[in-house]
Amino acid sequence: MTTIYHGSKQIVEYPEIRITGFNKDFYYGFYYTLLKTKAMRWAVRLTRSGIINEYNYTPNDEPHVLKFETMTEEWLDFIAQCRLAKPHDFDIVEGPMANDTIFNYVQSFVDGEISRAAFWELAKFKHPTYQMSFHTACALTTLKFIRGYEVHA
């Protein structure tokens, strides 16, 4: 069992997978992190206060998991497909997060503005943080809500 965190504007006792107006790195899903400090940044990113939600995550053999240890060609292709609104069949996806700078490089690659080689040249000195996401009801069954509490920037 592992404690994981989700930064939000509200307490999320029962996580949901919501379809939003744009596609994220790993497609639509419930995103979380192992780092409380990162969850705090997510929680306060639009205003100066937010909520950190804590969960116990208990992995089991049921969910179909895709894990990227580092930024690889497969990682870039997977993110590009997700950004182009192409769904996938994974319950849980883990891997490097395309932070603000890398996000722009990925988007430029997806939009055809830069080549694959240019992406890797730009990204080689960037060290992204790690993110995880749940994409199905099966994945959400591995979570147990612990608590939610307010944080301030």
Percent of the chain residues past pLDDT 90, beyond the cut: 55
The 10s digit of each residue's pLDDT in 83-137 is 888 889 999 999 988 666 777 888 899 899 999 999 988 888 777 778 889 999 9
Closest CA to 71 of 108, 104, 96: 96
Q: Which is nearest to 30 in space by CA: 59, 13, 56, 6?
A: 6
- Average pLDDT for residues 28-36, to the nearest whole number? 90
State the sign of the Cα–Cα–Cα–Cα dihedral 43, 12, 67, 117. negative
Q: For the chain, where are the E strands, in sequence order?
A: 2-8, 30-32, 49-57, 65-67, 92-96, 130-134, 143-152
Given this model, what pLDDT does residue 73 score? Answer: 94
The predicted model scores a pTM of 0.84
- Residue 139 near residue 94 (C-beta atoms within 8 A): no
Kindly tell me if the per-residue pLDDT of 41 is higher than 80.
yes
